[in-house]
Amino acid sequence: MSSSAPIAGHPDLTEMRLRYERAAETPTAQVADGFTVLGGLFVALSPWITGFHAMTPSLTLNNLVTGLTATVLGLSFAAAYHRTHGIAWTVPVLGVWTIVAVFIMSGTAIMTSSVLCNVIGGAVLILAGLGTMAPAYATRATT
């Protein structure tokens, strides 16, 4: 058995939490979190906003799940960045998937509205995800 001290008693834990709290309070992180939530909601609702939900039910379900996932991630980054910063890389991946999914899941029923919604929504998620990741990497570079 190891007699190591639990992580809760580690002397650097408080400093690390404060560093991530400062990172979460930066305007870049707050704007990126907001765009992640808004981009996710747009992707989730875009099939009904533009009317392609009846033509491509698989893309509709994909957009709903992907968009809601991005929205929940954005809310979790805003609420508890120090605990969720490690999964910030998933938002740009969701953005790339949103762009690619329209071509994979639409089949022959590709509509201009679905392509535009997925490309714009995916691009917003990619940029917002990179913005969410930036403060954590900036604090690592300065320490």
Each residue's pLDDT tens digit, 24-38: 566 777 888 899 999
Task: Judge whether 4 lies within some domain.
Answer: no
Q: Please count the structural domains in the chain.
A: 1
Indicate whether this model's pTM tops 0.85: no
* Residue 16 counted as domain residue: no
Is 11 domain-assigned? no
Tell me if 92 is assigned to some domain.
yes
* Cα separation, 60 vs 40, whole angstroms: 14
Q: Domain for residue 23, yes or no?
A: no
User: And the tokens for 92?
Assistant: 């740009």
Nearest Cα neighbor of 128 from 73, 86, 82 is 73
**What's the pLDDT tens digit per position in 40-73?**
999 999 999 998 888 888 999 999 999 999 999 9
* Model confidence pLDDT, tens digit, residues 94-126: 999 999 999 998 777 678 888 999 999 999 999
Q: Would 32 be classed as within a structural domain? A: yes
Nearest CA among 68, 8, 79, 73 for reference residue 43: 68
Distance (Å, whole) CA 141 – CA 67:
31
Residues of the domain holding 74: 28-142
Find out whether 30 and 78 touch, Cβ atoms under 8 Å.
Answer: yes
Q: Does a structural domain hold residue 99?
A: yes
Q: Evaluate whether 105 touches 138 at the Cβ level (below 8 Å).
A: no
